[in-house]
Homo-oligomer: A and B are copies of this chain.
Amino acid sequence: MKALVVNSTSKFPVMIPGTHENPVPGPNELLVKIEATALNRADLLQKAGNYPVPDGASPILGLEMAGVVEETGSDTSRFKTGDHIMGLLPGGGYAEYCIIRDDHAMPKPESLSFEEAAAIPEVFLTAFQGLFWIGELFDDETVLIHAGASGVGSAAIQLAGQVSETKIITTAGSESKLDMCRKLGADLAINYKEKSFETEIEKEFGPTAVDVIIDFVGAPYWHQNIQVLAMDGRLVHLGLLGGSEVDNIDLGTILRKRLSIRGSTLRNRSDEYKALLTKEFTERFLESFDDGTLRPVIDSVYEWEEAEQAQQRMKQNKNAGKIVLTGM
């Protein structure tokens, strides 16, 4: 089958179109003809050799896809040949075919194209996990979502908007990104390049107003994050794009405000965890894609042979929303 392979003989590894042997579905697995896949930052790390591939996962990059069930392994009852599905992959999305556990697959919303559906699994499941499983967001709470124009950020804004009476604050780095965040449902969108988010939040909502923070930035935001958190606030770290080392941490504030600082990732979770996450997300939110309440935010769609250009766009932070590959 066709597949993107990493040319690691060069000093800076690049993706090149190539071939790979066809995968074969085992028990409880589906063989899927991939119609579209989407890019993730982990791809860049893995390409550079800095992200160990989980045991048993495909060495091919690509953590999500939408496609058509080509063949079912034994003991699969959830889907049948010809079904349109989407889902998380442990790897293998940058190819013509992939294997997915049937309990990691979700029906593709009928009203969406494969390109749109491929942009759903990683960001929406990550946002769902961060907001609800890790962040325990409740009704009437205030949530701060950093990098609101990113894939996970844009999904988190939308999902938080589905919770009753949530107030949604977000940060982004340009007017067009802030506009996008507002359209997705943000009540307050702050340009972090021009203003201190903690000052803007205090102006609008008062000091210590934030119940849950979804953060991908890490160290540079630590002190301000802690400052704006309310009693019993939860700071959820899903990434550390700005750095990881923090000085002058005051545990006294964590104790007094009864805060909870939580780190999480999705990829290194167990298959059972991902299956349960997929199931709960499907039950709670999948219908909302068909009626347009939720929608994947697509930055751009590239032909699969252009994966390298697509990755450069992500690497340079030029995208607002997901970058999709198609035509495999």
Contacts and interface: CB of A to CB of B under 8 A. Distances in A.
A222 B251 CA distance: 10
A151 to B, nearest CB: 18
A260 interface: yes
A257 interface: yes
A80 to B, nearest CB: 36
A308 B219 CA distance: 46
Contacts of A250: 244-245
A252 B240 CA distance: 7
A218 interface: yes
B259 A251 contact: no
Contacts of A246: 249, 251
Given A244-B250, A245-B248, A255 B264 contact: yes
Interface string A122-162: 00000000000000000000000000000000000000000
A247 interface: yes
Interface in A241-287: 244-252, 254-265, 268
Interface residues of A, number: 29
Given A219-B251, A245-B250, A251-B219, A259 B258 contact: no
How many subunits of this chain does the assembly comprise?
A: 2
Contacts of A248: 245, 247
Contacts of A84: none
A21 to B, nearest CB: 32
A237 interface: yes
A254 B261 contact: yes
A30 to B, nearest CB: 28
A295 to B, nearest CB: 29
Contact of A240 (B239, B251, B265): B251
A239 B251 CA distance: 9
A255 B261 contact: no
A265 B260 contact: no
A206 B246 CA distance: 28
Given A240-B252, A247-B247, A251-B237, A260 B258 contact: no
A256 B265 contact: yes
Nearest 7 A/B pairs, CB to CB: A255-B263, A254-B263, A244-B252, A261-B261, A244-B251, A260-B262, A247-B247
Given A245-B248, A254-B262, A260-B261, 16 more contacts: A222-B251, A240-B251, A244-B252, A244-B255, A251-B263, A254-B261, A255-B265, A256-B265, A257-B263, A258-B262, A258-B263, A258-B265, A260-B262, A260-B263, A261-B261, A261-B262
27 contacts: A219-B251, A222-B251, A237-B251, A237-B254, A238-B255, A239-B255, A240-B251, A240-B252, A240-B255, A244-B251, A245-B251, A246-B251, A247-B247, A247-B248, A249-B249, A251-B263, A254-B262, A255-B263, A255-B264, A256-B263, A256-B265, A258-B262, A258-B263, A258-B265, A258-B268, A260-B263, A261-B262
